[in-house]
A and B are shown apart, each in its own frame.
Chain A
Amino acid sequence: MAISKVFEGIRIADFAWVGVGPLVSKYLADHGAEVIRIESSVRPEPLRRAPPFANDEPGLDNSGYYADFNSSKKCVSLNLQHPDGVKIAKRIVEHCDIVTESFTPKAMRGWGMTYEDLCEVRADLIMISMPMYGLTGPWSMWQGYGHVLQAAAGISHLTAYPGEEPIGTGVAYTDFLVPHFAASALLAALDHRQRTGEGQNIDFGQMEAAIHATETMVLDYTVNGREQHALGAGHPDFRPYGTYRCAARGDDDDRWIAITVTNDAELAALADVAGESSWTSLEADALDTAIAEWTRSLQAEELMQLLQEAGVAAGVVQTPEDLRNDPQLEHREHYWMLDHPTMGHRAYDGPSFRLSETPAELTKAAPLLGEDNEYVYKDIVGMSDDEYVEHLVSGAFD
């Protein structure tokens, strides 16, 4: 007997954009929820306009950036600035279990679509708002981006070469961190509704979740009065613990390996693999220099194999290309190849966990803008053909 999908029958009106919101609803879509993205060509979802574009041709239906975050979803176009826009949006919400959004708080207030407003059309609604700084407070109307929020949350302070400027990670890091917290809160609220019938509102301030990714930074300050600092690749308690350049691979001379030692047995094993028994008594800086000289003439992948077989935690600093060829990720079937009408056969990221009985299934590539208008407006909302055409002509679906 086929097991039904986990979230079969759960429908989500997804007003969110860019990274955090779409990545939250992706978790649900890839496990069977019907996620309806509500977008507009008047003010397009920014990621639809962001590279990489298929064939390097910019176009709202051609962004790989957007596509990867929106697998398994449906999409309607709806202009919320149009006189009928909000009315139509509420008619969609009436048929949904969950509303997600990630605007600054004034947007939903301006449209009359706060949690209280939307409860009037759907009493047991679960709504999650995910602005950068939350729904209230002096910064709540501030704009932001994941690359800036990692700085605001203290993560960039801890991501730098020792003593240098706080560069942060090279990605919009919190966009790929806080969705797990938001999804966890949302799933717990969904479970609560399942048991009690009660919906609720979730005020998810991205900054407040991101601070939980700073490990002991807060308590070291509040208990010890100490401000922790960035150590490059390093670790406060362990050495050697770093990245070391390896031999070139072809004409690529940017190959690196992470080698980390957390006890004497591992240090002895490292020394043994290198054939350098003196390493066990070297001072830390000298040992670092010796390791860097040693790795420079070795292939990163081969060295990783040797060290792991000897019981030393080591790993290649893998690039996106390396990951596509990684045997472990291949074993776990991480990448999904999906066909998109304009972008073709493309790789998508699946979730990082495997459920033994109800695993994720990426059922389709990202939706075209407005791809599901007829289905949503007629079959779900219940518009007649005439009404549908009337809204179409008036520009409500722009």
Chain B
Amino acid sequence: MTTQTAAGPLAPFRVIDLTNELGQLAGRMLGDLGAEVIKVEPPGGDESRFIGPFRADVVDPEYSLHWWTFNANKLSATLDLTSIRGQELFTRLLATADFLVETCPPHAASALGLGVERIGASHPRLVHTSITPFGREGPYANWKATDLVGTAMGGLSSMCGAPGRPPIRPTASQGFTQASAQAVVGTLIAHYQRTKSGQGQHVDQSMQEAVTFTHDNATPTWDIRGINNGRPGNGREIGGYKSGQYVYEAADGYVAALSYGGLFGLTARQTIEWLDHHGMAEDLTSDEWLAKLDATQGLLIPPTGEDGDHLNDILVAFCKQFTRAQLVAEAQQIRNGWGVVNTPRDLLENEHLAARDYWTEVEYEEGHVTYPGPWAKLSKTPISIRHRAPRIGEHNFYVYGNLLGISDEEILQMSADGVI
């Protein structure tokens, strides 16, 4: 468990974060990189504080683990953006900021003072990033999208699930994740431009379009071959060709192997030797099979039909006999890139992540909470989780007092008036 004190690379910069679940990870990543991120919430708390699960299942805006996950490294200031006084304060706050990241629905942006032209005119240095389901403009701009609608409209769901059965999504929102993480890239490209020109700009991030990034080789496969990579079930499709099975049941869970576990292609001979060492290679040591598998060297597309079924049957029987750890350790020794299908518990008990000091303890009044650690190790300006997710309006005095120079009395009055 590390305690890092060096500042992150974005330490000199301030972010105003006006995002819902669609974009919360973006502000979190900028905060991890060292920026001061001020989450602006409506008085009474942001709607995403009511997204579960909750600590000990107690439904309370201070106990949402969704909030805790995505708002560590952020400060909280409350503000009623629908009031004139609130909008005036927001404008003053933006004047102190380098970045604005928001998820305002396009049709509501102007009314909240978040129109692109207006922000650009009054804050020309600001990098203003909008994260919306389909983009700020265009025929679908005002359509609604949940995460599933994002993964469907962006094409990922058409490649998730089994043939003939309903398309699925990962039960952890990848539409939101992709939109947020790609928005950070766009934001930092705009930021780099600002270091040269002094001028900010607008970054228009679409969740649907972000999901199109996840297609693997589907764009060229359709473009060149006129084939849609579809739902491969337990497998994969490359260039319109189906691979073999990928996930195999072990004695204590599942492992992810290459298709046929390396029984074709470059490591076919070593894989046969490995199975044979355990007395489970069946007829694959025959000259006929060795010749057949030698001929697949350098191919990425596995055999199909009876040959494929035979290889798969052998591997299914083999994997069931051993634990995940043994299978993967031995597979790696012959340079087969297998991996364990990890559960949450597996990850927390994982020796490799522990050896790399990955997990980070974050202090809450309720006790320490173990978080996933830095998503990159920067040698001079480390990424770190410096503090827990904020309580509602926890930093109002810092934001309105220290940053905007408003007196304590006036802040209390604004609070009583429901402005903050």
Contact status B215-A171, CB under 8 Å: yes
Contact status B229-A64, CB under 8 Å: no
Contacts A167-B161, A170-B229 given; 8 further ones with Cβ under 8 A?
A64-B224, A181-B375, A194-B192, A218-B372, A327-B139, A328-B141, A334-B209, A355-B186
Q: Report which of A6, A195, A245, A315 forms a contact with B193, defined as CB distance below 8 A.
A: A6
Chain B contacts of A349 at CB under 8 A?
A: 212-213, 215, 219
- Shortest Cβ distance from residue B264 to the other chain A in the assembled complex, whole angstroms: 14
- Shortest Cβ distance from residue A363 to the other chain B in the assembled complex, whole angstroms: 16
User: Given the interface contacts A242-B166, A243-B157, does A187 sit within 8 Å of B192 by beta carbon?
Assistant: yes
Chain B contacts of A145 at CB under 8 A?
A: 258, 337
16 residue pairs bridging A and B, Cβ less than 8 Å apart: A7-B192, A52-B225, A148-B339, A152-B342, A170-B231, A175-B216, A222-B348, A228-B344, A235-B148, A260-B146, A314-B149, A334-B209, A349-B213, A351-B185, A355-B202, A356-B120
Chain B contacts of A190 at CB under 8 A?
A: 192
A65–B223 CA distance with the chains assembled, in angstroms: 11
Interface residue? A227 (CB, 8 A):
yes
Interface residue? B369 (CB, 8 A):
yes
Looking across the interface, which residue of chain B has its beta carbon closest to that of A192?
B9
Interface residues of A in 346-392 (CB under 8 A from B): 346-349, 351-358
Chain B contacts of A27 at CB under 8 A?
A: 185, 189
Interface residue? A324 (CB, 8 A):
yes
A200–B298 CA distance with the chains assembled, in angstroms: 37
A354–B52 CA distance with the chains assembled, in angstroms: 32
Looking across the interface, which residue of chain B has its beta carbon closest to that of A256?
B167
A185–B217 CA distance with the chains assembled, in angstroms: 25
What bracket does the count of chain B residues touching chain A fall in? 35 or more
Looking across the interface, which residue of chain A has its beta carbon closest to that of B164?
A254
Interface residues of A in 42-61 (CB under 8 A from B): 46, 49-54, 56
Contact status A208-B221, CB under 8 Å: no
Interface bits A209-223 vs B (CB < 8 Å: 1, else 0): 101111111111111
Contact status B352-A133, CB under 8 Å: yes
Looking across the interface, which residue of chain A has its beta carbon closest to that of B51?
A237
- Shortest Cβ distance from residue A293 to the other chain B in the assembled complex, whole angstroms: 14
A316–B154 CA distance with the chains assembled, in angstroms: 9
Interface residue? A335 (CB, 8 A):
yes
Q: Report which of B170, B195, B199, B223 forms a contact with A64, defined as CB distance below 8 A.
A: B223
Looking across the interface, which residue of chain A has its beta carbon closest to that of B341?
A151
Contact status B65-A143, CB under 8 Å: no
Interface residue? A86 (CB, 8 A):
no
Interface residue? A184 (CB, 8 A):
yes
Contact status A167-B234, CB under 8 Å: yes
Contact status B220-A67, CB under 8 Å: yes
Q: Report which of B140, B167, B247, B370 forms a contact with A156, defined as CB distance below 8 A.
A: B247
Interface residue? A149 (CB, 8 A):
yes
Contact status B181-A53, CB under 8 Å: no
A149–B338 CA distance with the chains assembled, in angstroms: 9
A217–B170 CA distance with the chains assembled, in angstroms: 12
Q: Which of A74-82, A158-166, A274-282 contacts B (4 or more CB under 8 A)?
A: A158-166
Interface residue? B125 (CB, 8 A):
no
Interface bits B270-298 vs A (CB < 8 Å: 1, else 0): 00000000000000000000000000001
A234–B140 CA distance with the chains assembled, in angstroms: 24
User: Given the interface contacts A208-B372, A220-B344, A347-B223, does A329 sit within 8 Å of B168 by beta carbon?
Assistant: no
Contact status A159-B170, CB under 8 Å: yes
Chain A contacts of B162 at CB under 8 A?
A: 161, 167
Q: Which of B307-315, B379-387, B402-410 contacts A (4 or more CB under 8 A)?
A: B379-387
Contact status A318-B154, CB under 8 Å: yes
Interface residue? B44 (CB, 8 A):
no
A254–B185 CA distance with the chains assembled, in angstroms: 35
User: Given the interface contacts A169-B156, A203-B377, A346-B223, does A233 sit within 8 Å of B145 by beta carbon?
Assistant: no
Contact status A334-B212, CB under 8 Å: yes
User: Given the interface contacts A323-B212, A328-B134, A328-B140, does A156 sit within 8 Å of B341 by beta carbon?
Assistant: yes
Q: What 9 pairs across the A-B complex have the smallest Cβ distances?
A: A64-B220, A51-B239, A353-B186, A143-B337, A331-B138, A151-B256, A180-B181, A187-B188, A258-B152
Q: Report which of B116, B298, B337, B345 forms a contact with A221, defined as CB distance below 8 A.
A: B345
Contact status A157-B192, CB under 8 Å: no
Interface residue? B417 (CB, 8 A):
no
Contact status B233-A218, CB under 8 Å: no
What bracket does the count of chain A residues touching chain B fall in? 35 or more
Chain B contacts of A254 at CB under 8 A?
A: 164, 230
A206–B112 CA distance with the chains assembled, in angstroms: 39
Chain A contacts of B225 at CB under 8 A?
A: 52, 56
User: Given the interface contacts A3-B197, A138-B351, A148-B258, does A202 sit within 8 Å of B155 by beta carbon?
Assistant: no
- Shortest Cβ distance from residue A263 to the other chain B in the assembled complex, whole angstroms: 11
User: Given the interface contacts A52-B217, A170-B237, A245-B166, does A355 sit within 8 Å of B171 by beta carbon?
Assistant: no
User: Given the interface contacts A51-B238, A222-B370, does A332 sit within 8 Å of B135 by beta carbon?
Assistant: yes
Contact status A151-B342, CB under 8 Å: yes
A322–B178 CA distance with the chains assembled, in angstroms: 20
Contact status B256-A155, CB under 8 Å: no
Interface residue? A110 (CB, 8 A):
no
A74–B401 CA distance with the chains assembled, in angstroms: 52
Interface residue? A147 (CB, 8 A):
yes
User: Given the interface contacts A170-B237, A184-B33, does A356 sit within 8 Å of B209 by beta carbon?
Assistant: no
Contact status A50-B33, CB under 8 Å: no
Interface residue? A224 (CB, 8 A):
yes
User: Given the interface contacts A191-B192, A234-B171, does A53 sit within 8 Å of B377 by beta carbon?
Assistant: no
Interface bits B125-161 vs A (CB < 8 Å: 1, else 0): 0000000001101111101111111111111111111
Chain A contacts of B189 at CB under 8 A?
A: 6, 27, 31, 187, 355, 358
Contact status B168-A159, CB under 8 Å: yes
Contact status B139-A226, CB under 8 Å: no
Interface residue? B392 (CB, 8 A):
no
Chain A contacts of B214 at CB under 8 A?
A: 169, 171, 173, 176-177
- Shortest Cβ distance from residue B131 to the other chain A in the assembled complex, whole angstroms: 9
User: Given the interface contacts A50-B217, A243-B167, does A219 sit within 8 Å of B195 by beta carbon?
Assistant: no
Chain B contacts of A321 at CB under 8 A?
A: 222, 228
Chain B contacts of A223 at CB under 8 A?
A: 55-56, 65, 68, 369
Contact status B383-A185, CB under 8 Å: yes
Interface residues of B in 179-206 (CB under 8 A from A): 179, 181-186, 188-193, 195-197, 199, 201-206
Q: Which of A3, A53, A219 has the most CB of B within 10 A?
A: A219
Interface residue? B92 (CB, 8 A):
no
Interface residue? B94 (CB, 8 A):
no
Contact status A188-B231, CB under 8 Å: no
Q: Report which of B204, B220, B345 forms a contact with A52, defined as CB distance below 8 A.
A: B220
